[in-house]
Structure 1
Amino acid sequence: MTRPASADPCLQAVERPPLPGPQSVRVVEVLATGTNGGAQEHLYTLLTRIDRSRYDVSVVSLSPGSAVRKLQREGIAVAVIDDPDDAIAVGALAAHLAILRPDVIHNHMYRAELVGTRAAIALGIIGHRRPYVVSTVHSSRVRSAEDREQLRRLTPHMDQLIAVSQAMERKIVEEGRSGAPVKLIYNGVDIERYEHQEPCCTLRDEYGMEPGAQIVGVVARLEPEKGHPTLLEAWPQVLRKVPDAYLLVVGEGSKRSELEQQARDLRIAHRVVFTGRRDDVPAVTAALDVAVLPSYREAQGLTILEAMALSRPVVASNVGGIPEVIEDGVTGLLVPPHDAEALAAAIVRLLTDHAWADTIARAGHDLVHDRFCVELMVKEIEAIYDAGARAVRLSGVAAG
């Protein structure tokens, strides 16, 4: 359904009341790890689309990695505090913040929440201006009782929590984190980046795939929660129906050698390609016939949003925030987690009914454009930064 421009949240203007003091809001983003993942891609999208004339943004990463280098290539200042000892990391971050004097710090992922919030507390204790503390809950990972207790104790020292899905809102409540307000802000996709993306034209030659063969792909870290074993278990069933299909496994992680061995044990290694990390994921995704995310847990599933933005039909597990993105049979297909038979059937259906797959893909594309555009995400986060800067500047706390 076409909406009038005035009703499109991606096109609506946001009123910006004047800030007390300097009009530029200084923000430090604290990232738990510098390796690639959904949170890192979210931060990259945010910082490359934020109004840099109004927001003076920099990043502190608690480890090095490819995501750090990617941000630096965009001219974004990134400091790395590479120490596994949380106490040392807190001290180093507090010293860094004392120099920068940010209005807002924005934590991304669990360790960043711990280190970033404690550093902000430390600033207040030693007489510096305490920044407004924002934390985004990106992950649905199951935490230990000790981890949950640490988060519960620290949450009252946070000023704003952001959940990337309704599922993450529920998780915050379940973990007893009642000490800070929560706002739902879905991850946004840069539609312009994907709208005119050409498929990777060398993909078949790179991996020896014959012309005309259909390609199913999963883009995800090779970690236990991403569900790759179920997808590999499903693949022999797919090949019985579509014998020329290839499975493309894009990403790196701790389980790669185990997954490669599983493919050999299932005698499907000749039809499964492990690409490792790729810097051209949008082009690779655009070359897929079907995109899959077989996760056992998932906060939202940014890679399926990206596939939908590229008009690729998607199959994903019915877990976490994924059902908020996919309406089964309309914008994609949902299957139970750990169910190889259901996963295989869904993939085969999309590979063999091309007209229906195209209909699904178009509906998915329209949904992303309407509900998950990057402009809306950025505007909502900018509004939080403005509110934080206003609160800090009006608090009357003297800077050190």
Structure 2
Amino acid sequence: MTGGPTVLHLQKVAGISGSEAHLISLLPRLKERGWDIRFLMLHEHEPGAWDFAGELTARGIPLDAIPLAADVDPIAFFRLGAYLARLRPTILHTHLVHADVYGQLTGALTGVPVRVSTKHGFNEFRENPGFALGDRAIATFAHTHIAISRGLARYLEEVEGFDGSSFEIVHYGIEPDGAPRAYGGRQPRLLCVGRLIPIKGHIVLLRAFAEARRQLPELRLDIAGRGPLEPALRALAKELEVDDAIRFLGYVAPVQRAIEDVAIVVVPSMGEGFGMVALEAMERARPVIAAEIGGLGELVEEGVTGLLVPPGEADPLAEAIVRLARDLPAATEMGEAGRRRALEQFLQERCTDRTELLYRDQLQSRRGRNGTLPT
């Protein structure tokens, strides 16, 4: 049931990764609490964008789309301005770089009363001084800023010059999905989930997997996700002579099904704002081997719910894989500890509570003495 303020979420979507999975979970919860939730999708016609659109609309969230011809598309700016003028949302909530650039500027020009920006992840281009300057300039149009982990807030302070303490920290949340199924495989099987792009660390994973198989030839690996790196990854797997032990699954929904088919989940990212896949694995009682970067160190408790390794290094990752794959009872104990941690500290209800509180605080602070919002 809705009737509350209209909240428009804006993001450029290419597939379903952490931020998209977060929104698929968060937005229906906000709608249940009476907010009029809408989604506007920027896209470049990637197939994965429509996977996301289908998941969100199936949950009752109205979705519109604006195509982009380039990263900076004047026609898209015009279309977005017309869309905002027609919809007149009370809150505009932007996610990721493209939505910040298009949405915060256009939202200010069209008089959206409350503008919120969430920073979700690491990107190599953030280290470009020109980009950092522009990102900070665009940020001045938002009334409040969210970071999805303390690690990401620190990164934005170190790399872009933001005041890390100015970010509201809102961790992603998980929806409990019944009791997890125990792993029943005879051979230790690993899973990596994420877009097939360089920053997700698949190349390091394949090299580590090849090294681990020298000690444990029975190891198997599933890779779930789509992306432009897939041909290169298939070629590398063949070069490393492990292609017969790897399955490329493509897009998998629900991801919990793929998680329950394996013993261990690996998150080898070179940069990860939070690590939604790690949280999903924990909720399904699977141990996680993750790069110690960004929000992953806030999720995975070393030696308790999984293992943390230096990002971008194949040898420590291979050692961690062998350690857990050789001792599946210990891996099972870590998975059970991870499930307890997920259910105690990272439920979606807590994420929704925090988001809703920020919205209400901003609405209250933006109202004038007569109780009306500025336009």
For normalisation by structure 1, the TM-score amounts to: 0.85
Aligned to 2:63: 78
Of 116, 121, 132, which residue of structure 1 is paired with 2:114? 132
Aligned to 1:155: 139
Aligned to 1:165: 149
Partners of 2:164 and 2:324 in 1: how far apart? Answer: 45
Partners of 1:252 and 1:260 in 2: how far apart? Answer: 12
Aligned to 1:123: 110
CA contact (8 A) 1:158 1:180 kept: no
Aligned to 1:371: 345
Aligned to 1:331: 305
One-letter amino acid of the counterpart of residue 60, structure 2: G
CA contact (8 A) 1:215 1:245 kept: yes
Partners of 1:247 and 1:329 in 2: how far apart? Answer: 22
Instruction: Tell me: CA distance 1:347–1:216, structure 2 relative to 1, closer, same or farther (3 Å).
Output: same
Does 2:230 correspond to 1:256? Answer: yes
List per-residue Cα deviations over 1:47-86 (Å, max 9, x = no partner). 1222435200000111151211211122211110102344
List per-residue Cα deviations over 1:94-115 (Å, max 9, x = no partner). 2212222211111011110111
Aligned to 1:243: 217
Of 86, 89, 101, which residue of structure 2 is paired with 1:102? 89
CA contact (8 A) 1:62 1:80 kept: yes
One-letter amino acid of the counterpart of residue 145, structure 2: L
One-letter amino acid of the counterpart of residue 268, structure 1: V
Partners of 2:373 and 2:59 in 1: how far apart? Answer: 34
Of 31, 45, 70, which residue of structure 1 is paired with 2:25? 45
Aligned to 2:129: 145
Aligned to 2:250: 276
Partners of 2:35 and 2:219 in 1: how far apart? Answer: 47
Q: Which runs of 5+ in 2 are unaligned?
A: none
One-letter amino acid of the counterpart of residue 177, structure 1: F
Instruction: Tell me: CA distance 1:250–1:179, structure 2 relative to 1, closer, same or farther (3 Å).
Output: closer
Partners of 2:283 and 2:31 in 1: how far apart? Answer: 23
CA contact (8 A) 1:86 1:115 kept: no
- Considering only aligned residues, what root-mean-square deviation do their CA atoms show, in Å? 2.2
One-letter amino acid of the counterpart of residue 74, structure 2: A
List per-residue Cα deviations over 1:224-260 (Å, max 9, x = no partner). 0111111111122222232222111111111111110
For normalisation by structure 2, the TM-score amounts to: 0.91
Partners of 2:35 and 2:26 in 1: how far apart? Answer: 11
- 1:196 offset after TM fit, Å? 3.1
Instruction: Tell me: CA distance 1:146–1:39, structure 2 relative to 1, closer, same or farther (3 Å).
Output: same
Please say which of residues 89-98 and 152-161 is displaced more in the overlay: 89-98
Q: Which runs of 5+ in 1 are unaligned?
A: 1-21, 125-129, 202-210
CA contact (8 A) 1:159 1:180 kept: no
One-letter amino acid of the counterpart of residue 155, structure 1: A
Partners of 1:361 and 1:71 in 2: how far apart? Answer: 29
One-letter amino acid of the counterpart of residue 160, structure 1: T
In percent, how many aligned pairs have the same letter?
A: 30
One-letter amino acid of the counterpart of residue 47, structure 1: L
Does 2:194 correspond to 1:220? Answer: yes
Partners of 2:213 and 2:348 in 1: how far apart? Answer: 37
Partners of 2:164 and 2:100 in 1: how far apart? Answer: 14
- The structure whose Rg is larger is 1
Of 62, 83, 98, which residue of structure 2 is paired with 1:111? 98
Paired residues, number: 362
CA contact (8 A) 1:316 1:335 kept: yes
List per-residue Cα deviations over 1:18-70 (Å, max 9, x = no partner). xxxx9712100001225221111111110122243520000011115121121
Partners of 1:168 and 1:109 in 2: how far apart? Answer: 13
Aligned to 2:42: 62
Partners of 2:164 and 2:238 in 1: how far apart? Answer: 50
Does 2:183 correspond to 1:196? Answer: no
Helix, strand or coil: the match of 1:225? helix
One-letter amino acid of the counterpart of residue 119, structure 2: V
One-letter amino acid of the counterpart of residue 211, structure 2: Q
Partners of 2:82 and 2:182 in 1: how far apart? Answer: 46
One-letter amino acid of the counterpart of residue 40, structure 1: E
